[in-house]
Structure 1
Amino acid sequence: MPTDPPGGEREQSRGLLRSEPGTLLEHVAVAVFGLDGGGRIRYWGPGAEELFGYPPQAVLRGPADVLFPAPPTGRPGAAAQLAERGRALGYWRVRMPAAHRDGTVFDCGFRVFPVTGPDGSSVVMGLASRGADLDRVKTNLAFLDALFETCPIGLVMLDERLRYVHLNQALADMDGMSIAEHLGRPMTEVMLTSDGGEYERTLRAVADEGRPVVGALVGLRTPGHPHRDQVRSVSLFALSGAGDTRPGVGGLLVDVTDREHAILEATAARGRLALLDRAAARIGTTLDLHVTARELVETAVPGFCDGAVVELVDRAPDDPEVFDPALPLVTRRIAAGTVLPPPADELVGGLEYITYPAGSSIHAALRTGRPVSLPVNEEFATRTVVHQERARLLLDSGLGDILIAPLIARGTVQGITMFGRAAGRPAFTEEDLGLAGELASRAALCLDNARLYGRVRDIALTLQRALLPSATGAGPYVRVAHRYLPAGHATEVGGDWYDVISLPGDRVALVVGDVMGHGVQAAAAMGRLRITAKALARHHAHPGELLTELDACAREAGIELATCLYLLYDPATGRARVANAGHPPLLVRLPDGTVGTAAQATGVPLGVGGFPFATTELDLPEGATLALYTDGLIEARGRDIDAGMEALRDQLRRARGTMEEAADRILANLLPTTPADDTVLVLAQVSRAPSR
């Protein structure tokens, strides 16, 4: 340690020795000096000159007594006490009077401790600061410590990215999370609002523009209290102007939930409206019972409840659609979901058919037609659940309340939906009952539409399949593979049809048609045309004449639009005669694999009337394969019909194996999993009769 300042090289700065910028000690002057064993000053720092008023040359190697008032007679001086206590104790802290060069005496705080150099010599180093400065710092620190430890107001410091840097316990308790769980997280991940991002924009404006916010009311939830609505009075200010502090935002937050019920109600009302809006957009997107039920569950969980099920009354087709509260109720669960841990998942998904005894809570809801909310307890489980094991599962599931809402549409009880909330979540309110009633009413109508549609579709599909040929009379010189594939479940049955008709002389007629429209009416029209075409085929040698008669029949039956392709093959000559009423063209695959479109006149569809149908003759070589089909095979959303035709030609070129295998492969490669339209495909391989 140097005992004298280097000549002429001492730093000229007269500034104070300060603590790290931004701390409470920033403006506290600290004097540093050193005393040898004789009580003489051996080191004199810039802060010491500032505190005591002496330049180095005036005090170095001189007695340190000049820094203190004269002691009482017979008493040792203060400098000697500092040196002695510092060596004896190793560290000594004391407050005593000190003397400035100008003669003034001031209260001063000292810290002294010995320092030994490499040569074994030692000095006592002293640190000194004005007592008033130290008192101010101690007071500020004590105030801040008390503020953060005992203040009931939430205090927070955020960095420039609006992440938690510091907060007090009061705010941590409001959030239901520890202080450590906050640090480093954005404030918007903890204060969860439903204001469309307005609170986050306010925070950003304070950080970026320095605009303070005082007493803003914010409705929120937190991860620590996910089911508790809160209202807080929030005051925010920018930290960028507080000396050299880091940029960011400071805040004071007061929980004013109890006095702000109106805001809570508004927040809850916005949540309910948002849920109804989601329900309107999500429930009933298809005419599928199971999809509609899943949409209801997904809309309600987890925003409205922690678990939900949808159950339909299990009735036989001939049972009356009347609810009898005196009889047990059997339901079929078609959708379920929960966010609760096991065993809640087993409770909602463990059964398909459920029996509720007469007098159960389910019966009470269905009898009144209004939603009811009940606590999950022994009484509820005993009255509602038949099996003891299931009752125990219900009690152990973590559910605290269950809301039962009847599914009633067009005056008929369709089933029930049940919403459950965890025990730690607020119970269902009257407003929640009303919301559940709205959801159930909307879902019931959609479910009933799906149910009625399913019945009509089943009838149409049954009728259509009954009217289509179960076996075909191809004859010895025509081998046929035929396929009919109905449209996907979300689309009504169409009017596609086909037939293979054996005629005298081993001749074979191939017919494919498509009636415009869907449902029972289209299926009935298809059946009429097929039966008529089969009868006419036995009396008309020319396909054009047959289509003319079929057109007249269509007009008499009120069938406005139908397409049809009729082909008559004679194995004795190897010739085919073809007539077309607006149908997709015939494709012919030759034995060498070449595929072409038959050159045939395409007439107007059936039901239009007034136009003749031309007949085209084709010479077919031995082993040629004919492909007759409906537009469902070549038309698809997003695909041009010409591209569909080329894809079918390509499949025919690559056809291998048997006719049956080729038909299956074509359908698998050209149709989606759920086709949008009915599809018919008839493959016919022809051969010639031997000469006689």
Structure 2
Amino acid sequence: MPSDRLGGADGPGPIRSEPGSLLEHVVVAVFGIDEEDRICYWGPGAQNLFGHEAGSVLTRPAAALFPEPAPDEGPGPAAHLAERARALGYWRVRLPALHRDGSVFDCGFRVFPMTGATGASVVIGLASRGDELDRVKTNLSFLDSLFETCPIGLVMLDEELRYVHLNQAMADMDGIPLDEHLGRRMADIMITSDEGEYQRMLRSVADEGRTVIGTLVGLRTPGHPDRDQVRSVSFFPLTGAGDTRRGLGGLLLDVTDREQAILEATAARRRLALLDRAAASIGTTLDLDTTARELVGAVVPEFCDASVVELVEWMDETEAFDPELPVATRRIASGTTLPGPAVELVSGLREVTYPPGSNTHQMLSTGRPLCFTVDEDFATRTVVHQERAQLLLDSGLTCILMAPLIARGTVQGIAMFGRSAARPAFAEEDLGLAGELASRAALCLDNARLYGKVRDIALTLQRALLPSAPAAGPYVDISHRYLPGSRGTEVGGDWYDAITLPDDRVALVVGDVMGHGVPAAAAMGRLRITAKTLARHTAEPAALLDELDACAQEAGIEWATFLYLLYDPRTGRARIANAGHPPPLVRHRDGSVHSVGEVLGVPLGVGGVPYRSVEIEIPEGAVVALYTDGLIEARGQDIDTGIDALREQLRAPLGSLEEGADRILANLLPDTATDDTVLVLARVSGAPGRPPARGTGSPRRASS
């Protein structure tokens, strides 16, 4: 082995242990001893440890590295090292060593033989100061003991805040096995309700090098899902020396008992957050079933494992509750996260009857939320059928909280919330939360119920006033459709009619009263009846609109559009007057379509403007389309675009009028249409002796 291979002054620095480890600052000397016990190799670390430069020590006896032995001690330490290495193949020992300055220090040696390139045997020695080795051993022992026995949670996170190392105390604190932490993000284990503040704190330690000491954090973990904890946490950045992983080190201490106030505040924030979310999500529509489902969705699974909402079927809302009578309810919403029996329990029954003396009667008698333990006594008293009672006992629910849904001083229904053994039983604070949720839901359900009654009245009135099968005489075939808007919108004032007149004439009428609900339906009925009466005594459409406008003003109807078309099959001509309504469309046999838009007056009820009429010729077999704006208006679309779309639908082969009406509505009306819609298709034919057609349906003359 060449003596100056690594011994020059310009060679690499001292050999050290792996960067980032506890051995990083321990100098390791490497040297070689030949068969004559002379130094044949001298590394940079040896120069640092013993103080000799390579040029001054190479080829010298290895005994120069040790203090002079006593005369009666036999072979010196260097010879002993070489002999043990060759005899054992590997040997370690602690010996006094001699520094160049004459000082003696304790040194640890590791020696083993090697065969050089020339075949000669060389003993390689590795040496480090004994005190440095002792320090590393002490630190390692301390850290091992710390991770094994320390009651404080110790954790190491990478830069993405994922677990890379932790102790058993940390795993026990989380209730999750140690190995199931590794690779997971801390946010998946420590679940806080502080809107991300804890995670932002950790990020600041990782990104900005901040140190956090003794910060209190309220949390839950998947291992203890129903146990609120408070921990004192301290975090510091890891340096990432050498090529080691950067990240965070942390110490966490469970101080739940000491910080019960924080725990209670965390629970209170969670309840308030649930109430806020519920307030925003319950009552978004005026539909009973939707409102009930929103309540169930707000509480499952955050507040409970199962929930149902039931409406009480009172004979009369004003009747007093009699605890001696059964209570009949209708279940309109349910939900659960539990398996099998619980699903059947909450969703398998629509009509429910509670016998006198049930826990439901007890709750209704108090008018306050009550909590009950699910046992055989509860099941027997509350559930009528034995098989349903057994289903309750098998469901996994251990406690049920019942809350009355009270609005306007009347019990509207019942909300029930159930928890399994995996959660703690309902506490007093949970009763208050259930009461708040029930109050909110009861108000929304009451609004939906009242709205439904008013809407049913308006629909009934409107259907009674609209013609079910308008007669149109022998020369006009009629197909008509009326579609109320979506359930979230009150019924409107759209209407239509076909009026048979002397000499086989037919008046086609369509109108739209501004507004919704019972007032709009009543106004529509007055206009329809008045228009029908006037049609039998007024031959001129413009004059009819003048009379109808005066009647609208007298009745307080401020705005209503109206279209009147009077068809005479003997001449094939029609006279039209319009009070602000979308124009009729005429489809000819060849598929061409044109609108009669030249005549347009102000809506009824405005007053002060005379109406005029136009006369057009309608060819044999042509189809006239009358409609209301619900068919052609849509959000973000103007009326002209809607009329063009209807025109395209009319150009297609119609087939029968019934088929054509269904196809047009299916293609033009979205499922979410919010306005009422009327469509009337009328196919005309001429009476015997009708004169030949003279035009294409263009206006002939106007009168006022």
Q: TM-score range by the shorter chain?
A: over 0.9
Indicate how the Cα distance of structure 1 residues 663 and 127 shifts in structure 2: closer, same or farther if over 3 A, else same: same
AA matched with 2:98: A
For structure 1, the residue ranges without an aligned partner over 5 or more in a row are none
CA–CA distance in structure 1, aligned partners of residues 464 and 609 of structure 2:
32
Specify the alignment match of 1:333 in structure 2. Answer: 331
**DSSP-derived class of the 1:220 partner:** strand
1:66 Cα offset (Å)? 3.4
CA–CA distance in structure 1, aligned partners of residues 487 and 531 of structure 2:
29
Structure 2 matches for 1:648-663, cutoff 5 A? 648-663=646-661
**DSSP-derived class of the 2:635 partner:** coil
CA–CA distance in structure 1, aligned partners of residues 320 and 641 of structure 2:
53
- Say whether 1:481 aligns with 2:479: yes
Specify the alignment match of 1:306 in structure 2. Answer: 305
AA matched with 2:91: W
AA matched with 2:620: E
Specify the alignment match of 2:397 in structure 1. Answer: 399
Specify the alignment match of 2:698 in structure 1. Answer: none
Indicate how the Cα distance of structure 1 residues 390 and 60 shifts in structure 2: closer, same or farther if over 3 A, else same: farther
Do 1:221 and 1:227's aligned partners in 2 also have CA atoms closer than 8 Å? yes
Q: Which moved more, 1:385-394 or 1:410-419?
A: 385-394
AA matched with 2:345: L
1:9 Cα offset (Å)? 7.3
1:623 Cα offset (Å)? 1.3
Specify the alignment match of 2:446 in structure 1. Answer: 448
**TM value normalised by structure 2:** 0.92
For residues 122-143 of structure 1, the C-alpha deviation after alignment (integer angstroms, 9 at most, x for no partner) is 4333222111111000011111
CA–CA distance in structure 1, aligned partners of residues 420 and 84 of structure 2:
67
CA–CA distance in structure 2, aligned partners of residues 533 and 516 of structure 1:
17
Specify the alignment match of 2:437 in structure 1. Answer: 439
Specify the alignment match of 2:670 in structure 1. Answer: 672
AA matched with 1:106: F
RMSD of the alignment, in Å?
Answer: 2.6
CA–CA distance in structure 1, aligned partners of residues 642 and 448 of structure 2:
32
- Count of aligned pairs between the two proteins: 689
Specify the alignment match of 1:604 in structure 2. Answer: 602
AA matched with 2:280: A
For residues 542-583 of structure 1, the C-alpha deviation after alignment (integer angstroms, 9 at most, x for no partner) is 222322333333333333322221121111111111222222
Specify the alignment match of 2:539 in structure 1. Answer: 541
1:274 Cα offset (Å)? 1.6
Q: Which moved more, 1:440-449 or 1:173-182?
A: 173-182
Specify the alignment match of 1:73 in structure 2. Answer: 72
AA matched with 2:202: L
For structure 2, the residue ranges without an aligned partner over 5 or more in a row are 691-704
1:37 Cα offset (Å)? 5.1
Indicate how the Cα distance of structure 1 residues 164 and 537 shifts in structure 2: closer, same or farther if over 3 A, else same: same
Q: Which moved more, 1:535-544 or 1:144-153?
A: 535-544
AA matched with 1:515: V
CA–CA distance in structure 2, aligned partners of residues 584 and 512 of structure 1:
10
Match of 1:461 among 435, 459, 467: 459
AA matched with 1:429: A
Q: Which moved more, 1:584-593 or 1:350-359?
A: 350-359
1:362 Cα offset (Å)? 2.0
Do 2:97 and 2:105's aligned partners in 1 also have CA atoms closer than 8 Å? yes
**DSSP-derived class of the 1:227 partner:** strand
Structure 2 matches for 1:226-237, cutoff 5 A? 226-237=225-236
Do 1:40 and 1:63's aligned partners in 2 also have CA atoms closer than 8 Å? yes
Specify the alignment match of 1:686 in structure 2. Answer: 684
Match of 2:322 among 318, 321, 324: 324
Specify the alignment match of 2:699 in structure 1. Answer: none
Specify the alignment match of 1:194 in structure 2. Answer: 193
AA matched with 1:221: R
Indicate how the Cα distance of structure 1 residues 494 and 24 shifts in structure 2: closer, same or farther if over 3 A, else same: same
Match of 1:565 among 559, 563, 566: 563
Match of 2:612 among 607, 610, 614: 614
CA–CA distance in structure 1, aligned partners of residues 62 and 461 of structure 2:
118
- Say whether 1:522 aligns with 2:520: yes
**DSSP-derived class of the 2:634 partner:** coil
1:669 Cα offset (Å)? 1.2
1:277 Cα offset (Å)? 1.5
Match of 1:46 among 39, 44, 52: 44
Do 1:306 and 1:422's aligned partners in 2 also have CA atoms closer than 8 Å? yes
Do 2:113 and 2:124's aligned partners in 1 also have CA atoms closer than 8 Å? yes
Specify the alignment match of 1:208 in structure 2. Answer: 207
Do 1:588 and 1:626's aligned partners in 2 also have CA atoms closer than 8 Å? yes
CA–CA distance in structure 2, aligned partners of residues 61 and 397 of structure 1:
88
For residues 360-416 of structure 1, the C-alpha deviation after alignment (integer angstroms, 9 at most, x for no partner) is 222221221111122333333333333444344433434333221111111222211
AA matched with 2:31: F
AA matched with 1:457: R
- Say whether 1:415 aligns with 2:413: yes
Specify the alignment match of 2:634 in structure 1. Answer: 636
AA matched with 1:489: R
Match of 1:371 among 369, 372, 384: 369
Q: Which moved more, 1:279-288 or 1:519-528?
A: 519-528
1:604 Cα offset (Å)? 2.6
Match of 2:17 among 16, 19, 29: 19
CA–CA distance in structure 2, aligned partners of residues 81 and 600 of structure 1:
123
Specify the alignment match of 2:29 in structure 1. Answer: 31
Specify the alignment match of 1:158 in structure 2. Answer: 157
For residues 456-492 of structure 1, the C-alpha deviation after alignment (integer angstroms, 9 at most, x for no partner) is 2112112211211122211111111111111111111
Do 1:206 and 1:236's aligned partners in 2 also have CA atoms closer than 8 Å? yes
CA–CA distance in structure 2, aligned partners of residues 119 and 691 of structure 1:
133
Specify the alignment match of 1:588 in structure 2. Answer: 586
CA–CA distance in structure 1, aligned partners of residues 424 and 9 of structure 2:
70
For residues 311-358 of structure 1, the C-alpha deviation after alignment (integer angstroms, 9 at most, x for no partner) is 212456x68654332233332222222333444333332322233332
CA–CA distance in structure 1, aligned partners of residues 301 and 204 of structure 2:
32
Specify the alignment match of 1:504 in structure 2. Answer: 502
CA–CA distance in structure 1, aligned partners of residues 21 and 229 of structure 2:
35
**DSSP-derived class of the 2:497 partner:** strand
- Say whether 1:271 aligns with 2:280: no
Structure 2 matches for 1:165-180, cutoff 5 A? 165-180=164-179
AA matched with 1:267: T
CA–CA distance in structure 2, aligned partners of residues 599 and 212 of structure 1:
78
**DSSP-derived class of the 1:591 partner:** coil
Q: Which moved more, 1:21-30 or 1:66-75?
A: 66-75
**DSSP-derived class of the 1:603 partner:** coil
Specify the alignment match of 2:222 in structure 1. Answer: 223
1:94 Cα offset (Å)? 2.2
AA matched with 1:330: A
1:116 Cα offset (Å)? 4.0
Do 1:400 and 1:424's aligned partners in 2 also have CA atoms closer than 8 Å? no
Do 1:487 and 1:679's aligned partners in 2 also have CA atoms closer than 8 Å? yes
CA–CA distance in structure 1, aligned partners of residues 554 and 286 of structure 2:
34
**TM value normalised by structure 1:** 0.93
CA–CA distance in structure 2, aligned partners of residues 50 and 507 of structure 1:
122
Indicate how the Cα distance of structure 1 residues 379 and 71 shifts in structure 2: closer, same or farther if over 3 A, else same: farther
AA matched with 1:374: F
CA–CA distance in structure 2, aligned partners of residues 14 and 488 of structure 1:
84
